[in-house]
Amino acid sequence: MEPLPGSGGAARIADVAARAGVGVATVSRVLNGRANVRPATRDRVQEAIRALNYRPSSVARSLSLQRTMVVGAVLPWFTNPSAVQRVRGIVEGLSGSPYDLMVFDVESEDRQRRAFELFDRGDRADGLLVVSTLPPDAEVERIRSAGLPCILVDGVHPSLPSIAVDDAGGGETATRHLIELGHRRIAHIGDTPPEFRFDWSRDRTRGYERALERVGIEVRPEYVREGTRLLHVARGIATELLTLPDRPTAIFAASDTQAFGTLEAARALGIRVPEELSVIGFDDIEVASHVGLTTIRQPLFESGRRGAELLLRALSGRRVDVRTELLPLELIVRATTGPAPRT
């Protein structure tokens, strides 16, 4: 039964059950993500919830289930565009569930350790998504001992289910694209030694080196530079590369943000892109298409959504295998790469 118009009354769980033609216990199982509900019945209950704009009491649900009804997400660089895209995917993945999301942004190893200490007690969250960072082995053991469901997104550990991409393969694809355009003087801007035990940038550098070695191009130490994801740092590094006596004709940046810094450096030096310099990034964040950046697209949104989906599966008591699920990468060719200039 729907609340009477103008009565100010909110729909109750019994109203949802009556509309769907099921018992209150069945509605409760749907709300709590239980697996033992037939798909057709689940659909009727969810339709009734939407029609009645039913909002269950999170406090009552938590007390009855002895759960927090919260999913925790630990990630570094929360303001980075790629991290924002992953969080959007997580939010989408949780949207049909009764769980709220708590995000813990870690900016140092101390904050990372504190985050895991908070979550592995089990009284802050019912499950954990760890994004673009790796828990230390001791924390992994504590998480597993506490029975806290945990999914890694953009990271791999042999003891936890993981969603990831082949970063080395992506680095090789990016560099091979430049080689196929005739470039031989190819530089690379990567990251400093990885924080939080996370090695994606080094993997992309390994892919870059592998692509050069496959065609017999020597890796030139002066062409391989490290910085941070900050745009102004990448701009400074690119300026150094582009003022070398034998400057590169192409640059592979380990992230789109670093590629944007490279484009700014080229513009300031009066170097035309792509006529005199080709630039390729990695990630395909939203703004990349607007500036015509050639890049390696990784499914940022989908990785977050898929991580949330696996975590909900675990929280409902269903089996989640401890394995790494690799999502596909795609070369997106736009306006910042072209044939090597004739010399």
Cross-strand bridge partners of residue 130? 74, 152
Reported as a single tens digit per residue, the pLDDT across 294-327 is: 999 999 999 999 999 999 999 999 999 999 999 9
Which of 66-70, 104-108, 127-131 is the most confident on average? 127-131
Q: In this predicted model, what pLDDT tens digit does every residue of 33-51 receive, in sequence order? A: 676 788 899 999 989 988 9
pLDDT: is 164 or 115 the higher one?
A: 164
Enumerate domains of the chain plus CATH numbers. 13-56 (1.10.260.40), 66-165+300-326 (3.40.50.2300), 167-298 (3.40.50.2300)
How do strand 224-227 and strand 294-297 relate by DSSP bridges?
unpaired
Q: Which helix (H) or strand (E) holds 20?
A: helix 13-20
Going by their DSSP bridges, the two strands 294-297 and 330-332 should be labelled as: antiparallel
Does 194 score more than 70 pLDDT?
Answer: no
Q: Compute the mean pLDDT over every residue in the chain, rounded to the nearest whole number.
A: 88
| pLDDT higher than 80, residue 10 | no
Side chain identity at 177, as an amino acid letter?
Answer: H
pLDDT at position 283? 95
Query: Which residue from 287, 289, 274, 301 is spatially nearest to 332, judged by alpha carbons?
Result: 289
pLDDT digits (tens, 9 = 90+) for 265-288: 999 999 999 999 999 999 999 999
AA identity, residue 166: D
pLDDT at 3 over 60: no
Calpha distance 296→38 (Å, rounded) = 41
Angle at 224 (CA atoms; ends 221, 227), nearest 5 degrees: 135
> Is the pLDDT assigned to residue 107 strictly greater than 80?
no
Does residue 197 have a pLDDT over 60? Answer: no
Instruction: Answer whether residue 342 shows pLDDT above 50.
Output: yes
